[in-house]
Amino acid sequence: MNLVTDPNAHIQTVKRTTPQYIKSDSLKSSSATNEYFSDYASEVASQKSDASKASYETPPSRISTPLVQHNPIDSEMTLPSRPGAIQPAPLNIRHNQNIGAQTTVRMLSSFDEMSPPTPGVDDTPYIRFAIEQLTRDEDVIGRGRDSTFPAPNVPLPAPRPPVEPGFDDSPQARTPSPPPPTPPPQPVSPRPPSRAPSDIGPQEVMIPVDLSKDLRMRLGYVPLPLRLPILGLYFFLCLLMIAALIFSLVYAGTNHALFDYDGNTTPRYFVFQYLPQLVGILLILWLFVIEAAVYRSLPYYCMGPGRRNRWALQNMRVLPANYLLPDFTFFRNSELLLGVTFLIFWMTSFTIPLLACVFQTQWITDDGPARFRWTTVRGVGWTLLALYILLGLGLLYCAFRFRRRNSNLLWDPCSLADLICLFQRSNVGSDFEQSEISPQPNGQIPPRNLRLGFFTTSERPEVFHGVGEEYAPVKNLSFPPEKPKAIHPSNELGDIEAQRHSYGSAFSRNIHSPFVRYRWTPWFLRDSFVLAWIVAAVLLVIAFLVVSFVKKAVQDGFRPLLPSLTDSSGFSPANFLYSFLPAFLGMVLFLAWQPIDMYYRAVQPFRNLSQPAGATAGDSLLLSYPAYGHVRVIIRALINRDYKVAYITFIALLSLSIPVLAGGVFTAVFFSSDNQVRIVASMPGYIALCVLVTIYAFSYLFIWPTRKRYLPHNIDTIAALLSWLYASPLLGDVALQNIGTKVELVKRLTGSPATPTSLTGDAEVDEKSGRPRRAVRRLAQDTGMRYAFGIFVGRDGKEHLGIDRLQRPGSREMLVVPTSH
């Protein structure tokens, strides 16, 4: 007998020329499949005799039991066998090093070779083992269960206690085994161990800071259109309109109208027929700016010291929508009074057609010679008076709701760069996981009681300004980076496939999908609707021109088909219809263009970011067209060479003249030659109206958005915008932290050097070295640093779709999905 020691397996094997069977006191059994041993039997054997202790290991279960004997070298255990259908296998003997006697065990090829049952030994453990092994085989091939994942609402199994060294905790072998000898040291490459977020230590919690006098004075910013002096000036103009209406109503009722009628092309005609609605629509343009400020500020006011709203990020719009149809979202967001205010603002649009017909001509016979005189329509005048009083009350509520004490803002949040500053240290970033490709990201974000103000954390003493949930853990997306593993050529394909499926194959496919990237645009700018608008606009303008000039129908006048006689209150059915109806239709055209204009303003930063070469910060992150008035947008867009935005906004401004001219161009005139009343048009005004309507109609040919203006989802809420920023490394840029003013933000993004100091006045400390930072190098240059919208590697080391620098040092350039336009 030759004794051979295998240092790798740490066992001893005995080679014999002929198979032998040695019976020992150890309790062992073969399985129903002739190749497994019972864990339970091993435990019983270990308890019965210390001299017969051996470490048995059961190989993992297989889908089906093999019928052919494996190589004895690969066998984990052996039992004695006798001649049969299968040839006997060579001996594979394990020897316990702690026992002097040699105990050998030979593998059985069938049950017939097993020795008779030992008297006094219970066979129940063997039977249980056989049943267990059969059940495990069924589990492996899937016959014994429906799914490998726990069903919903089913509690997961409790974790097993930690296993001491030297024990195999696999289901097949749980018997103690002696620890293997220490292998000789081998050279290994140093690699820092990666830690899961839960192993880093105690969780960092955001803690609100009790505001001192100095910190409190920094807060309280109110956007310029909502400041008390600006709202006071607008309220004063409303009072002037109210005073003018009251004077006209009182004076016309006591002095036989106002002025004599002197024709339809005179300055007096312009004052009574064009000027009222022109002043009214300028007030509406100003009101649009106030509404836009309310929309973008309200979510942050709902995070301030006043009442909180848990749905501020998801349900509160940041883009105006109170144009052609009223916006009722304020009622759904528990802003009842503000909802009533915006309903009044929407009703203010009716002041334009009412102002167009508030002054009419009246035949006066009891004040000198009979003649036509301009008078005030009493019913229309009192209606306008009520609307302007309601408008003034709405302005007062806005001044009260958006007063300084309710604001925790540092500046007006109107651009993407402002969002980066407000949410760069927020603890809600994990809520936006994979929301960049969701068609409805607002419904994916859970409600949270967010606060806007100064915070500190339980791990860092630094005070910063931002948005977060009080006393909630900071759930950062950034993890300690791991060094890349060496990729062998033979495993390169497998590593690529593993990386592809590591973060969800569906999400990876979607962020690279052109369908997802170019999925969303407003319903009124989809291809079918744009085509319908173009056809309808062109056909209507052609019909309008034909009816107007064929046979001089407008110039010579036409029958009113309604009574034209003006009663004592100044009301004439014919004059009212041909003033109110054209102005109302013109107002519909004017309001219908405003959502188109607002869309092009809001999406322009993303269009610039979608360029293959990206865009500078001034053309993207700092761009805030929705916050400007029409004239300012036109000027800024021309300077920035955003010519399409400039043209769309110019048409939005030009279209206000359509209701102004349409409401005053027609009037009823008595023709003594044929003793009848006809409706005639003031031809200078009518020609100008025809030109403007033609330009307006053919402008629909230019509203077709290119693919660069298509986005994965809407952009009307903070949550929708944050879905493209939550994983961006921009939120971790040191140079964008601790910014106190908007001027400083613009300087940081456009290249001006700045020294970062905390809001408490202390120098900012570097996290790695623990030393104060002296200065932050320039973050961007308009001629160098560029940003893009595409696929980037986020702070968590995974690919995301959103906004980041076009290229960062040491990383590849962002993948900006190419477009065909």
Distance CA 130, CA 31 (A): 5
Residue 447 banded pLDDT, cuts 50, 70, 90: very high
- What is the pLDDT averaged over residues 355-379? 88
Which of 616, 602, 610, 615 has its CA nearest to residue 789? Answer: 610
Q: What are the tokens at 184?
A: 């000789």
The percentage of residues in the chain with a pLDDT greater than 70, rounded to a whole number, is 67
Residue 677 has pLDDT above 90, yes or no: no
> Of 384, 407, 430, which residue is a domain's last?
407
Distance CA 584, CA 660 (A): 10
**pLDDT the model gives residue 367:** 77
Q: Is 685 helix (H, G, I), strand (E, B) or coil?
A: helix
CA atoms within 13 A on the CB side of 701: 5
Please report whether residue 706 resides in a domain.
no
**pLDDT the model gives residue 549:** 86
The answer to whether the beta carbons of residues 556 and 675 sit under 8 Å apart is no
The percentage of residues in the chain with a pLDDT greater than 90, rounded to a whole number, is 48
Q: Is 259 helix (H, G, I), strand (E, B) or coil?
A: strand
**pLDDT the model gives residue 287:** 97
Count other Cβ atoms within 10 Å, centred on residue 65: 15
Residue 475 banded pLDDT, cuts 50, 70, 90: confident
H or E element in which residue 652 lies: helix 643-654
CA 655 → CA 17, 685, 694, 713, distances in Å? 106, 14, 11, 29
Residue 135 banded pLDDT, cuts 50, 70, 90: low
**pLDDT the model gives residue 297:** 96
- What is the pLDDT averaged over residues 667-696? 89
Give the dihedral of Cα atoms 645, 651, 654, 655; nearest 10 deg.
-130
Looking at per-residue pLDDT, the higher value among 482 and 575 belongs to 575
Please report whether residue 596 resides in a domain.
no
Residue 203 has pLDDT above 60, yes or no: yes
**pLDDT the model gives residue 403:** 92
Residue 124 banded pLDDT, cuts 50, 70, 90: low
- What is the pLDDT averaged over residues 108-132? 55
Structural domain including 338 reads 223-407
What is the sign of the dihedral through the CA atoms of 325, 331, 335 and 338?
A: positive
**pLDDT the model gives residue 94:** 39
Phi/psi for 151 (5° steps) reads -70, 160
Looking at per-residue pLDDT, the higher value among 430 and 165 belongs to 430
Phi/psi for 373 (5° steps) reads -135, 150
Mean pLDDT, the chain, rounded, equals: 76
Residue 440 has pLDDT above 80, yes or no: yes
> Of 407, 442, 458, which residue is a domain's last?
407
* 268 shares a domain with 322: yes
CA atoms within 13 A on the CB side of 244: 16
Residue 28 banded pLDDT, cuts 50, 70, 90: very low
* 132 shares a domain with 84: yes
**pLDDT the model gives residue 129:** 63
Distance CA 299, CA 309 (A): 8
The answer to whether the beta carbons of residues 598 and 651 sit under 8 Å apart is no
- What is the pLDDT averaged over residues 208-224? 85
Tell me the residue type at 630. H
Residue 760 banded pLDDT, cuts 50, 70, 90: very low
Lowest mean pLDDT among 285-289, 561-565, 588-592, 786-790: 561-565
Distance CA 275, CA 742 (A): 40
Please report whether residue 65 resides in a domain.
yes
- Quick: pLDDT tens for 591-604: 999 999 999 999 99
Please report whether residue 187 resides in a domain.
no
CA 727 → CA 266, 417, 620, 649, distances in Å? 64, 15, 18, 33
Residue 565 has pLDDT above 60, yes or no: yes
How many secondary structure helices (H) and strands (E) does the chain include?
24, 12
Q: Is 25 exposed, middle or buried (0-12, 13-18, 19+ CB in 10 A)?
A: exposed
Measured at the alpha carbon of residue 792, what is the angle toward residues 787 and 795, in degrees to the nearest 5? 105
Count other Cβ atoms within 10 Å, centred on residue 302: 22
First to last CA, the chain: 85
Which of 49, 280, 41 has its CA nearest to residue 174? Answer: 41
> Of 407, 428, 448, which residue is a domain's last?
407
Distance CA 706, CA 820 (A): 9
Q: Is 787 helix (H, G, I), strand (E, B) or coil?
A: strand
- What is the pLDDT averaged over residues 340-354? 96
**pLDDT the model gives residue 257:** 86
- Edge to edge, the sheet with strand 206-208 lists 206-208, 450-457, 464-469
Please report whether residue 192 resides in a domain.
no
Residue 660 CA, distance from chain mean position: 40
Tell me the residue type at 740. G
Pairing relation of β-strands 206-208 and 359-364? unpaired
Q: Is 749 helix (H, G, I), strand (E, B) or coil?
A: helix
Residue 619 has pLDDT above 60, yes or no: yes
* 143 shares a domain with 275: no
Which of 379, 285, 399, 283 has its CA nearest to residue 338? Answer: 399
Looking at per-residue pLDDT, the higher value among 461 and 12 belongs to 461
DSSP string, 758-795: -TTSPBPBPTTT-SBP--B-----TTS--EEEEEEE-T
Lowest mean pLDDT among 71-75, 307-311, 330-334: 71-75
pTM higher than the cut 0.85: no
Looking at per-residue pLDDT, the higher value among 632 and 184 belongs to 632
* 467 shares a domain with 367: no
* 800 shares a domain with 757: yes
**pLDDT the model gives residue 500:** 42
CA 281 → CA 31, 390, 654, distances in Å? 92, 17, 12
Lowest mean pLDDT among 178-187, 672-681, 695-704, 805-814: 178-187
Distance CA 722, CA 346 (A): 29
- What is the pLDDT averaged over residues 230-245? 96
* 374 shares a domain with 242: yes
Distance CA 361, CA 272 (A): 10
Q: What ranges in 675-741 are assigned the alpha helix state H?
A: 683-698, 718-722
Please report whether residue 543 resides in a domain.
no
Residue 228 has pLDDT above 70, yes or no: yes
β-strand partners of 359: 376
Q: How many residues does the chain have?
A: 821
* 273 shares a domain with 214: no
**Residues with Cβ within 8 Å of residue 681, at least 6 apart in sequence:** 264, 554, 555, 665, 666
Please report whether residue 603 resides in a domain.
no
Count other Cβ atoms within 10 Å, centred on residue 63: 9
Tell me the residue type at 553. A
* 426 shares a domain with 372: no
- What is the pLDDT averaged over residues 437-443? 91
Q: Which of 128-132, 194-198, 520-524: highest mean pLDDT?
A: 520-524
**pLDDT the model gives residue 736:** 86
Distance CA 446, CA 431 (A): 7
* 330 shares a domain with 291: yes
* 369 shares a domain with 434: no
Residue 238 CA, distance from chain mean position: 39
Q: What are the tokens at 668?
A: 């009823």
Q: Is 736 helix (H, G, I), strand (E, B) or coil?
A: helix
How many domains, in total, are found in the chain? 3
Pairing relation of β-strands 259-260 and 359-364? unpaired
Residue 227 has pLDDT above 80, yes or no: yes
Unique residue bearing structure tokens 């435990």? 43
Q: What ranges in 514-642 are assigned the alpha helix state H?
A: 514-517, 527-549, 553-556, 573-609, 630-639
Could you give the angle at which helices 527-549 and 683-698 cross, rounded to 10 degrees?
A: 160
* 340 shares a domain with 430: no
Residue 1 has pLDDT above 80, yes or no: no
Query: Strands, DSSP E only, in 462-518?
Result: 464-469
Please report whether residue 534 resides in a domain.
no
* 316 shares a domain with 454: no
